[in-house]
Structure 1
Amino acid sequence: MTEVSSLTGRLLVATPALADPNFDRAVVLLLDHDEEGSLGVVLNRPTPVGVGDILQSWAELAGEPGVVFQGGPVSLDSALGVAVVPGESGRSAARTEEGPLGWRRVHGAIGLVDLEAPPELLAAAVGSLRIFAGYAGWGPGQLEDELAEGAWYVVESEPGDVSSPAPERLWRAVLRRQRSELAMVATYPDDPSLN
């Protein structure tokens, strides 16, 4: 098998050609990507369910909007916490295990939260927290096939992507900040037949 270059911490931005309704205009943060597969969460699918309705103890740390996000179509009954810890972005990759107790670095200042830990452990360190129900997953080579088919743009993530206060505008915002022809894709109409 060929060596897989890790895309962990990068964003997958759905191309207008991606036909899967689960990922229409989706922005996915890759939390893990290696030869065994890929796992990520969709950053721009808020639900009407408040964080306090399912994880009361974490509600105060959740950023606006304080709702649970649909992280993807897999395991919708499970929850993942993703948090940004300010001041952690400049740390070297060799020091990945450092950071507040109950938080594991994924990329830069972005990391996974142990939702079984007491929220008080992280309260002082966390800049923003998002709770996701479910996740997006790909088996070995599956994401690489989708990339080869042109289903996704791969771009750098920024800590603010995790906590965007306007998640419904994240797809356009991420594309617009690209310094390439991708910035033009942000103007693609929601329904091209109405153009």
Structure 2
Amino acid sequence: MDFFDHTDIPAPEKGVLLISDPFLPDSNFERSVVLLCEHNAEGSLGFVLNKQSNLLLSDMMADFEEAENQVFIGGPVEQNTLHFIHKIPDLEGSICIQENLYWGGDFEHLKTLVSNQLVPASDIRFFIGYSGWSEGQLQREIEANGWIVHNRVRSNLVFDSSPEELWKVALQDMGGRFKMFSNYPADPRLN
């Protein structure tokens, strides 16, 4: 087996993290960690967890004047849309990704919860745009060693890790040879 061969990794499914290979040649996803929120026969959708924009939610939404949440770049698709993941189990209309991790929901209900300080800002992450793959595209990228699939995701890994360290932390969390990947330099020429 090649050191960087990831084909023994489980297939993608809703709730896994996709960790970009150290050699992924796509600048949109260099050293990215993507939370996969949807994966079915039609395709896949997720959000890059570790690419911050220079915007706060309060910069984008007048209804969130006090919200100091950093907005993340969820991916290169439809960057004129706003999405969110959270740890609010009773938010109406949300989709359970896995235990203590949800996607979307009733935005008006969310605004009420936030404005009444019923949920901490740290329990919500906002994204402009998303990452999307057409039917079979993600599986082909995994088979070509573009992505490493981490299937033991916990919400604290998603919400509590600093964006700058998440790629490294997620690989270390997988253990084994992936722990060694985490120390691979972004530019091997500088090693």
TM tier, smaller: 0.7 to 0.9
Partner residue in 2 for 1:145: 140
Q: State the Cα deviation string for residues 32-74 of structure 1 (Å, max 9, x = none).
A: 0011100000000011111111124346566xxx211000000
Output the amino acid matched with 2:18. Answer: L
Query: Residues of 2 paired with 1:109 and 1:20: CA distance?
Result: 31
Q: List aligned pairs for 1:70-109, cutoff 5 A.
A: 70-85=73-88, 99-109=90-100
Output the amino acid matched with 2:92. Answer: L
Query: Residues of 2 paired with 1:166 and 1:190: CA distance?
Result: 18
Equivalent pair of 1:81/1:115 in contact (CA under 8 Å):
no
The reply to whether residue 133 of structure 1 matches residue 123 of structure 2 is: no
Q: Given the superposition, is the C-alpha separation of residues 174 and 9 from structure 1 closer, same or farther in structure 2, using an over 3 Å criterion? A: same
Partner residue in 2 for 1:92: none
Q: Given the superposition, is the C-alpha separation of residues 41 and 55 from structure 1 closer, same or farther in structure 2, using an over 3 Å criterion? A: same
Query: Residues of 2 paired with 1:48 and 1:103: CA distance?
Result: 27
CA RMSD between the two structures:
2.1
Could you say what secondary structure the match of 2:46 adopts? strand
Q: Given the superposition, is the C-alpha separation of residues 176 and 167 from structure 1 closer, same or farther in structure 2, using an over 3 Å criterion? A: same
Query: Residues of 2 paired with 1:166 and 1:56: CA distance?
Result: 27
Could you say what secondary structure the match of 2:107 adopts? coil
Structure 1 gaps of 5+ residues are 89-98
115, 124, 132: which one aligns with 2:118: 124
Query: Residues of 1 paired with 2:119 and 2:94: CA distance?
Result: 10
133, 147, 157: which one aligns with 1:161: 157
Q: Given the superposition, is the C-alpha separation of residues 59 and 84 from structure 1 closer, same or farther in structure 2, using an over 3 Å criterion? A: farther
Partner residue in 1 for 2:29: 23
The reply to whether residue 46 of structure 1 matches residue 62 of structure 2 is: no
Could you say what secondary structure the match of 2:125 adopts? strand
Identical residues among aligned pairs (%): 32
Equivalent pair of 1:71/1:133 in contact (CA under 8 Å):
yes
Aligned length: 176
Q: What's the offset of the Cα at 1:102?
A: 4.4
What is the TM-score when the length of structure 2 is the normalising length? Answer: 0.83
Query: Residues of 1 paired with 2:105 and 2:32: CA distance?
Result: 25
Equivalent pair of 1:100/1:125 in contact (CA under 8 Å):
no
Output the amino acid matched with 1:174. Answer: A
